Amino acid sequence: YSNKGLSLNVYSSMLSALSFMFSGFIISKLNYVSTITTVIWLPLLFFLTQKLVEQACLLKEKLYYVFVTGIILGIQFLSAHTQFSFYMLISLGLFFLFLLINKFTGGEPLIQASNNIRINSLAYVIIHISILMFVTVIIGFAIFSVQLLPVYEFLQLSRSGGQIAYDSGVSLAPEYLVN
């Protein structure tokens, strides 16, 4: 991401990749494969989201980035750690808002249309790019939907589903919480 998306040189990109790969969070979660397989998609999702916002006026590239980002988002949701997937979806949404704000603070035309008409309508561009991102999330959830029914069935049988009392298993008695 840092090489292509941020236009850094090779050494800076390698340093950022190594710092992500050997960060405290990644190293501390090495025993939890489901967490690692969810978090590793974050740089690619940021890169694809940035390309989606940058290429919003080109039809062929726009559709390519919408579908590829949706597929990667769906694969990331299928990677068995839904909590981090939703955290990453929130961070992706915040990054998307940052890209929109960054795009609108520049002096260049917001979108260069195919017939060389400059579109400077802020509302049009926000709606256009937001619809693209919404379609991307819908594609990701469509891919994830094959796992929703098994997850729902598992939740009904788990401790979180409410059918089993919380204090019937290996939970700690309240008097031992002080010690």
Residue range 58-78, pLDDT digits in tens? 667 788 889 999 999 999 988
- Structure pTM? 0.73
For 169, which DSSP code? S
Neighbours of 61 (CB within 10 A): 14
Query: What is the average per-residue pLDDT within 40-64?
Result: 83
Instruction: Name, of 67-76, 99-108, 123-132, the range with top average pLDDT.
Output: 67-76
Lowest-confidence pick of 21-30, 81-90, 149-158: 149-158
**DSSP H or E stretch at residue 118:** strand 118-119
Phi, psi dihedrals of residue 112, rounded to the nearest 5° = -95, 110
pLDDT tier for residue 54 given thresholds of 50, 70 and 90: confident
Q: What is the mean pLDDT of the chain?
A: 79
What pLDDT is recorded for position 150?
84
Highest mean pLDDT: which of 11-15, 53-57, 121-125?
11-15
- Over 80: is that where the pLDDT of 41 sits? yes
**Using CA atoms, how far apart are residues 66 and 73, in angstroms rounded to an integer?**
10
The answer to whether 176 and 166 have CB atoms below 8 angstroms apart is no
Express each pLDDT in 77-101 by its tens digit.
888 788 888 899 999 999 988 888 8
Q: Report the candidate in 59, 34, 69, 48 with the shortest Cα–Cα distance to residue 1.
A: 48
